[in-house]
Structure 1
């Protein structure tokens, strides 16, 4: 998942990925695709809606073009593995498309169909406005002692770019392993839509004592 400038060199990126992966797993045939970083919601929704037997390594990156004088976003990259029928790990639930004006509606759909209000342990946010992250927190449990912290990623990571949503998702998935369900909110460049997505650990089978 690449920024627009990097997509112009998609062939080189794909060849590089095949070489690197081939060094780790000689003899394995890897299928590599280069896609726009701004297509996170569509890609995740498509994955959720079908039975996908293929293991996928998702690598998202945003880099400055060599001749670009004005830096619109901060460079960054992240990756995560999507493995069908994995016995451990977590799940990415269907993203919700909302907006500043319809934020409460988007949150209510998540709480009604995916995750109850008291289950999210942290909120990760990038590319939006401070009032939106506050509104998301206020939509969670009213008891201030139980409110999960919100992580405004644009502060430590810099200006958001086309792949910032993917980077937030990867960070939340790592946090999920120890802390439990996570909520991610992001807005892509030049978009009025606000995207909300939950990642949650897989339920563990009970063992007999």
Structure 2
């Protein structure tokens, strides 16, 4: 079978508005997207023993956000013998700010440890490859190239005191986010509308 190669005009999207994000959102399969419940987006942690079982984000400008969650049985591929390519981080946030696209690869962990940190990096790396593939598919079929202006890697863990607080690891580019678990029994974290910019901040 011979594959015909057709060259079509492709447009590089350097600026991004929530209108462009909506077109991109609508093009993506539903099982990848976390949909809002009212004005709240809820991210569930897949591990039952996690101290953080879900994070509730209250967003005022929902059109500026797209949150994806990979199902490792559906949205990953194990392609290499010596490396795991079938991992994924807990959720991926696409955000429009000042007509620029910012992406946050976000992983939830129960504590700070070197083991967890290494695992988070592998998961984020796989999800980053997945996003690159997703954008390549979008370019191929929708003829529009979306440019990510900034990328951040978030390691989210429960706040457990000042002594273990970390902010940034220059070697790995991990940004550490300690969060208050408001409902410890059910492992619920709530990020209110007025805390969204602080949580999804633009790091220098």
- TM (normalized to structure 1)? 0.27
Counting strand residues as a fraction of each chain, which structure ranks higher?
2
Counting helix residues as a fraction of each chain, which structure ranks higher?
1
- TM (normalized to structure 2)? 0.28
